Structure 1
Amino acid sequence: MEHERPWMEQYPETTILSFHIPEVSLYSLLEDTTRKYSDKTAIIYDEDSLTYKQLKDQVDRLAAAWRNLGVKKGDRLGLMVSNHPFYVISYYAALKLGMIVVQINPLYTPRELLEILHDAQMNYLVTEPQSLEKISQLKNSYAFKGLFVTELSSKKDGIYSIHELINCFNPLVDSCLINAQQDIAVIQYTGGTTGKKKGAMLTHYNLVANVLQSKALYGANMFFGEETILTATPLYHVYGMTSGMNLAIYIGAANLLVNKFEIEKVLKLIQTHRPTFFPGVPKMYNAFVNYPEIDRYDLTCFKTCSSGSAPLPIEVLKKFEGLTGASIREGYGLSETSPSTHRNPPDGLMKVGSIGIPLPKTDCRIVDDHGENLPEKTVGELLIKGPQVMLGYWNKPEETNLSLRDGWLYTGDLATMDEDGYFYIVGRKKEMIIVGGFNVYPQEVEGVLYEHPDVLEAAVVGIPDREAGELVKAFIVPKEGKGININELREHCYQLLTRYKVPKQFEIIEALPRNTVGKVLKRILLDESKKMV
C-alpha cells in the first residue's frame, strides 16, 4: 500500500525541492568553490586563516606527496585528529586520490582503536602528536604502511610530518576517477547488534547529496560566498563532517574551527568573527544560556542554528533564540544517512519536540514489525529512503541485509508521524545511549564491566540528563563474598573506554530482573532510575 506524505505541504516557499545531485567526487566541491571564491576565507583557526585558493593548494600538495609514497585508490586512511585545518586538508587530499577516509575519535583507548584498525584493515593513519604514545602501544599488534602526524617536533623513523609533506611537493597531481554512486568516500563507525562496531560505507554521492539536501532546506537563509559557520562539533563525528566542513566548502563559507568547546573562548571568537550559522548539540546550547555573563556578549550575528543528537529542552531553545534572534531547528540523522534526514524547516512551521519533516528528496515510513505502514500518531519503526542512505556496512553483509531492505533503511528507532508530516522519536529498538551527541552501546560497556574480577553481572542503561541528553548508568551484581569499590570500578572503565562511555552512576543490586527465558528486563531498571532522577 502506498504511504501518504503529508510533509510535502509543509515545505516553505524558500525550500528548493527540485534540484540535481551531480555524480561527482566530494573533492570536486572544493574545486568548484575555489574557482568561484578563490580569495574568500575558507578556514579560520586560532590566529590563522586560509583562503580557498590556499586551502586547495595545500590539499593538492598533500595529495601529491601521498601519491609519491604509493597511496592507491581504495586504501583506507584513518583520520584521528581533532578540529584543525589539517583535518580538512587530509580529508580532501585523501578523497582526491580515491582513498577511503575512516573517521576516528582521538579519545579512543588503544583497545577501541585496535578494533577499528583491524576491521577497516587500515593502511594509513593521520594523527596528532599527543596520540603517538597511544599508537606506540599498538606497534606489536598492528602495522601501518604510513603514519602521518599533523606536527612533528623531531624526525622519527616511519613517521611523516603533514606540514613538511605539504611544503615539499608541488600541487600538480591528477584527481582519481571516481564512480560517485559506488566508490566509498568515508567509513563512519557506529555500533552493531552484538556490541561490535560496524562501519557505515558512505559514498561520494551520499555525502554530496546530503550537503545539497541541507542547503536546499535552508534555502534563502543561507547564501553562497557570504556565510561563516561556527564548527565546534567534532569533524570526526558525521554531524560535524557534513554540517560543519562539507557544507561550508559547498557554499563557500568561512569555517570557524573550534578545537575544543570552551564557552569563554567560543564567545570571544563569536565577537571577533561573527558566525552566521551554528550546527550545535544541546550541551553546547546549554553552556551558552547558563553562562553567568552571557548578557555581555552580542550573539545577534547568528541567523540560523541546528541542533541534533538529543532533544533540546524548550527553555534552553527559547532563551538562546531570545539572546540571538536566530532560530534553532532541531533535526535527526544517523551515521548511516550521511547523517541528516529530518529537520524543522527554518522558514516553516516549528514543532517543539519534533525532529521535523524529511529533507528534500527523502522519503519516510512508519511501520509495524511486519513492515506494514502504520497510520498517523501510531508508534512504529522509522524507515528512510533517499540519496544520502549508505551503501551498506563494511565487510558485514548480514548486518547490511538486516538494515537495508528493498531500498529502505530500517533505523531501529521508534517514531510517530502527525497529521502534518512532522516526525517524533519516542524511543529506540536498539538500546543505544546518546551522551552529548556520541553513541554509547550498552553491550560494549557491559563487556568491560564483566572483565572486573569482582563483578558477577552487569547491565547498562541510559537515563535522562539535562546537559548531555543522556548519561550512562550501570547496575552491578557483585560476586558472592565480594564488595565492589565504585571508585576502583570506575577507574577500571576509564582504562578501557573513552570517557563519555564510562558510567556516571553505579548502583549495586542483589540480582538483575529477568524474564522467564533469562533476558534482562532493562525497562524495569530504566523505570526505577527515572523515578530517582
Structure 2
Amino acid sequence: MSIDPSAPVPERFNMARYCLAAAGETPDKPALIVAADACGTPSEVWSYAALEDAILRMAGGFRTAGLAPGDRLLIRLENTSAYALTFFGAIAAGVVPVPASDQLSAREAGFLLADSGAAAIALSPALPVEPVPEDVRVFAPEDIAALRNSPRADYAGTRADDPAFLIYTSGTTAQPKGVLHAQRAAWGRRPMYQGWYGIGPDDRVMHAGGFNWTYTLGTGLTDPWANGATAIIYTGEKDPEVWPKLIAAYEATIFAAVPSLYRRILKYAGAGPDTMPSLRHGLCAGEALPEAVAREWFERTGTVLYEALGQSEISTFISSSPSVPPKPERVGKPQPGRRVTILPQDGGDEPLPAGESGLIAVHCSDPGLMLGYWQRPEEDAAATRGDWFITGDLGMLDEDGYIAHQGRADELMNAMGYRVSPVEVESVLAEHPGVAEAAVAQVEARPGVEIIAAFIVRGPGDAVSAEALDAYAEERLARYKRPREYIFIDALPRTPNGKLRRAALAAMRASHTA
C-alpha cells in the first residue's frame, strides 16, 4: 500500500504506536536483528509482537516509577538493544527521552542532564555523568532490564504536537542546544520513504551506527519499523572490513552510513560486485558525499549511493533516491510533500530564482519540523523568517529542481556526521593553563578528507605540547569533537575590530605544513 507523504497528521498521535503498527499486521515478522559478529547468527531477534510487548511493558514500568507525561529521561547507556527499548518505551508512555551519545565526557553529559531538567536518567556505570542531583531518579542497566517485566501499559493518548523526544545539537555558542521534537516527527519522516529510501516491507535495513546515535534511531529504526521492514544493528567492533561481510551474512537490502565510512570500506574492505549480493543501494547523510566516492562505489559494487541533506531540527528533506537519480555536484531534490526554497542570505522571505545562491529554507508547516529549541526562544526567533525555517545551509536551486549544497552560513563544522561548534571546542581548550588563545577550524587534510584542527597560542613561557592538549581534550570532549591536529602559532588572525578570521586558519595550516 502506498503512503501519501503529504497526508495530514492525525490529531491524536503517538510516535511509538505509529512505528509499531506492524505488530498487529505481521506480529511474527522480525522487526529487529542485533548482530554481534558477521557469522550470520544474530545475538538477538525481536519479532514485531515481542518488540511491542517489551516497549509497552517498559512504558508501564516508567509510569509505575512515577514518571509523568512530559518528564525528561536522559539515556546514557551503551550500544545495546536496551537503548532502543528505553527510547521507544519512554515515548510510548508520553515521557520525553533525551538520547545521549556514549562518546560524551562526564562533563558534557552533566550539561545535558542539567539543561534538560531531566527527572530521571538511564545510566550505565561505564558512562559517568557529573554531577547527578539527588532528586534525579537513576535507572541502572539492571533496572532497565527489570522494567521489561512490568505490567503492560497502553500507548499514551498523546496529541500530534505533544513533546516526543529532545535531542542536543551543536550551535554557534559554547554549549549544545536542545531540539524538542513532537510526536508528529515520525509522521513528518514519510517523505523520506520513497524520496530517499525507496523502502518497502520486504527490505532489511542495516544501519552502521549504534543504537545511541539519533541518525540510527531515525533512519535505522523508526523508518524501517514504520514500513514493516526489518532493522539490523551491529554491536561489534566496527572495522571497515566487517561491513560487506555483515551485509552479505544478514542479507541487507539497504545500507545506511556516513560518506566517510563508504570511503573506508572502498579503501580497506575490497568491496566488489559479488561481496554484497543482496544490497539494492546505499544511503548516506551527515556530511557531503564526494563525487569520487559515489563513482567508485558504483563502479566497484554496481549499486548506487543516495545522498540526503538534513539536520537535527527536521531530519533529511533533500535527497536523491531510486526515483531521483543522483546528479553531480547536487544533493538531490526536495522530498515529495516538502516545501523547500532558497531565500536571500541578507534578509527577506521572497524565494530566489533558479541559479541564485542563498539560504536553504523549509516551510514551517512541515510536520517533521521541531517544536522549537529547548528554553531558547531567541534561537527560535532567529531561525524563522516569515513562514520559513532557516536551516543555516547555503544552496542553489538549478533549472532541473536539484539543489546544490554550498556549505554552512555559520561556522559549524562536520565530524563523522555530527555537527560540531568550533566555539564549544575552543572554550574547552582555552581553559588549559598553558593556552593563551585557541581557535578551531575544519581543514582539508588530503583530498576528500577533512579534519578538525586546533590553532594554539601558548601562554607566555609555556611549552604545552599537542599530546598534553589532546589528553586534556579527551577528558572533556566527545571523541568526534576533539581536534585531530594541533598547530602552534604566534597569534590568531583577526580583523581590525578583533574578530577572529576563521577562514584564514586553513591558509595558516598550509603554511605550517608546507
What TM-score comes out, normalization by structure 2 length? 0.91
Task: Give, as a single letter, the amino acid of the residue that structure 2 aligns with 1:214.
Answer: M
Kindly indicate whether the alpha-carbon contact (under 8 Å) linking 1:393 and 1:400 is maintained by their aligned counterparts in 2: yes
Question: What is the match of residue 145 of structure 2?
Answer: 163
Deviation at 1:307, TM superposition (A): 0.8
Residues in 2 aligned to 1:466 and 1:27: alpha-carbon distance in whole angstroms:
43
Question: What is the match of residue 178 of structure 2?
Answer: 199
Q: Structure 2 unaligned runs (5+)?
A: 36-42
Local SS of the residue matching 1:263: coil
* Residues 75-474 of structure 1 mapped to structure 2, 5 A cutoff: 75-131=71-127, 134-135=128-129, 137-139=130-132, 142-143=133-134, 145-150=136-141, 152=142, 160=143, 162-167=144-149, 169-171=150-152, 173-180=153-160, 182-210=161-189, 212-218=190-196, 221-224=198-201, 226-259=202-235, 261-295=238-272, 298-337=275-314, 339-368=315-344, 369-371=346-348, 372-385=350-363, 386-465=366-445, 470-474=450-454
Kindly indicate whether the alpha-carbon contact (under 8 Å) linking 1:436 and 1:470 is maintained by their aligned counterparts in 2: no
Q: Structure 1 unaligned runs (5+)?
A: 1-13, 153-159
What do the CA deviations read for 1:11-43 (whole angstroms, capped 9, x no partner)?
Answer: xxx996654543421122244211111000011
Residues in 2 aligned to 1:335 and 1:292: alpha-carbon distance in whole angstroms:
31
Residues in 2 aligned to 1:326 and 1:163: alpha-carbon distance in whole angstroms:
40
Which is further off, 185-194 or 23-32?
23-32
Deviation at 1:530, TM superposition (A): 5.8
Deviation at 1:395, TM superposition (A): 0.7
Residues in 2 aligned to 1:477 and 1:88: alpha-carbon distance in whole angstroms:
44
Residues in 1 aligned to 2:93 and 2:255: alpha-carbon distance in whole angstroms:
31
Which is further off, 73-82 or 287-296?
287-296
Kindly indicate whether the alpha-carbon contact (under 8 Å) linking 1:16 and 1:217 is maintained by their aligned counterparts in 2: no
Task: Give, as a single letter, the amino acid of the residue that structure 2 aligns with 1:52.
Answer: Y
Q: 1:229 to 1:31 in 2, by over 3 A?
A: closer
Residues in 2 aligned to 1:51 and 1:455: alpha-carbon distance in whole angstroms:
54
Local SS of the residue matching 1:518: coil
Question: What is the match of residue 10 of structure 1?
Answer: none
Kindly indicate whether the alpha-carbon contact (under 8 Å) linking 1:43 and 1:51 is maintained by their aligned counterparts in 2: yes
Q: 1:58 to 1:465 in 2, by over 3 A?
A: farther
Residues in 1 aligned to 2:507 and 2:430: alpha-carbon distance in whole angstroms:
23
Deviation at 1:456, TM superposition (A): 1.2
Residues in 2 aligned to 1:63 and 1:481: alpha-carbon distance in whole angstroms:
58
Question: What is the match of residue 4 of structure 1?
Answer: none
Number of corresponding residues: 499
Which is further off, 309-318 or 391-400?
309-318
Q: 1:59 to 1:91 in 2, by over 3 A?
A: same
Deviation at 1:466, TM superposition (A): 6.1
Kindly indicate whether the alpha-carbon contact (under 8 Å) linking 1:288 and 1:320 is maintained by their aligned counterparts in 2: no
Kindly indicate whether the alpha-carbon contact (under 8 Å) linking 1:188 and 1:200 is maintained by their aligned counterparts in 2: yes
Q: 1:296 to 1:77 in 2, by over 3 A?
A: same
What do the CA deviations read for 1:59-89 (whole angstroms, capped 9, x no partner)?
Answer: 1111112211111100101122344221221
Residues in 2 aligned to 1:468 and 1:87: alpha-carbon distance in whole angstroms:
33
Local SS of the residue matching 1:336: coil
The RMSD of aligned alpha carbons is: 2.3
Greater helix share, structure number: 1
Q: 1:495 to 1:165 in 2, by over 3 A?
A: same
Tell me the percent identity: 28
Deviation at 1:405, TM superposition (A): 3.1
Task: Give, as a single letter, the amino acid of the residue that structure 2 aligns with 1:35.
Answer: G
Deviation at 1:528, TM superposition (A): 3.9
Residues in 2 aligned to 1:453 and 1:415: alpha-carbon distance in whole angstroms:
41
Deviation at 1:144, TM superposition (A): 5.2
Kindly indicate whether the alpha-carbon contact (under 8 Å) linking 1:302 and 1:324 is maintained by their aligned counterparts in 2: no
Q: 1:526 to 1:397 in 2, by over 3 A?
A: same
Kindly indicate whether the alpha-carbon contact (under 8 Å) linking 1:366 and 1:383 is maintained by their aligned counterparts in 2: yes
Task: Give, as a single letter, the amino acid of the residue that structure 2 aligns with 1:217.
Answer: G
- The answer to whether residue 11 in structure 2 is matched with residue 29 in structure 1 is no
Q: 1:30 to 1:336 in 2, by over 3 A?
A: closer
What do the CA deviations read for 1:116-171 (whole angstroms, capped 9, x no partner)?
Answer: 1111001112233422xx13x524xx235422233x4xxxxxxx2x222213x232
Kindly indicate whether the alpha-carbon contact (under 8 Å) linking 1:356 and 1:423 is maintained by their aligned counterparts in 2: yes
Deviation at 1:364, TM superposition (A): 1.8
- The answer to whether residue 514 in structure 2 is matched with residue 515 in structure 1 is no
Task: Give, as a single letter, the amino acid of the residue that structure 2 aligns with 1:423.
Answer: I
